[in-house]
Copies of this chain bind each other. A is one copy, B any other.
Amino acid sequence: MNMRIVVANVNTTESITEAIRGQAEKAARPGTEILAVTPSFGAPSVEGNFESYLAAVAVMDRVTAVTEPFDAVVLAGFGEHGKEGLAELFDVPVVDITEAAAHLACLLGRRYSVVTSLRRTTGQIHDRLRLAGLDSHCASVRATGMPVLDLEGDLERTGARLVEEAEHAVESDGAEVICLGCAGMAGLAEHVQDRAGVPVVDGVPAAIGLAQTLVEQGLSTSKAGSWASPLPKDITGWPIGG
């Protein structure tokens, strides 16, 4: 089945978009085209609520500007705001990488932990998992203390820190599965999995896999309730980037 999936980075940094695109393409089946987009305004790296709300709008703005038809949207920011807005705006399935990673993790073990960048983002991740109804199997959300933009810089050090926190999660928190909690960690899942000895789920491929499944089965966002299309209105200053 041929389909096009828009994958929206929440950060304005192009190299992160490229890393996300790479991970998404590896997870894509033959016939699935990946269209990775970068928001036209916002923070180079999203590490907090102010930046995340801004990214939520910037991503809605950027995906609205896509001119090609598409079959699904992936929100490629871990623990970020905005999914419900995208779900309202489009008729195609919208998959958030936070939820996608946690859904697959739940299939693989009794409890999972998330390993993320800075401690300041852990509360936000907990909140997103809670709203998604996926918190009861979450053993912990742990931070490496590394800012998003440093993650790509020294992959060896990043990998070592991820393994360290993953091992703490397994030994102290009872995690049986690890989710990589940052789009900027793209590509490190296998490395961590080999060393920590438990399955490691990366959000971007997880979301691509789920989006493909939904599209193949003809399933899309319910328009009968919370995520119904916006009522027709004059919205001042929207779209923003246009």
Q: Which of A2-10, A14-22, A101-109, A153-161 contacts B (4 or more CB under 8 A)?
A: A101-109
| Cα of A228 to Cα of B103 in the assembled complex, Å | 20
Listed in ascending order, the chain A residues whose CB lies under 8 Å from chain B are 12, 27, 29, 40-45, 47-54, 56-58, 60, 81-82, 84-85, 87-89, 93, 95, 99, 103-104, 106-111, 119-120, 122-124, 127, 130-137, 147, 170, 174, 176-177, 190, 197-199, 201, 205-206, 209-210, 212-214, 216-222, 224-228, 230-231, 233-238, 240-241
Give the chain B neighbours of A93 by CB distance below 8 A.
107-108
Task: Choose from B49, B85, B132, B201 the contact partner of A88 (Cβ within 8 Å).
Answer: B49
> A141 to chain B: closest CB distance in Å?
10
Q: Is the CB of A227 within 8 A of B60?
A: no
Q: Is the CB of A110 within 8 A of B225?
A: yes
Q: Is the CB of B214 within 8 A of A104?
A: yes
With A48-B88, A51-B230 known, 8 other A-B pairs at CB within 8 A are: A41-B238, A45-B233, A51-B235, A53-B56, A56-B56, A176-B224, A209-B214, A240-B240
Q: Is the CB of A49 within 8 A of B124?
A: no
Q: Is the CB of B176 within 8 A of A222?
A: yes
Tell me the nearest residue of chain B to A112, going by C-beta.
B222
Give the chain B neighbours of A56 by CB distance below 8 A.
53, 56-57, 81
Q: Which of A27, A218, A226 has the most CB of B within 10 A?
A: A226
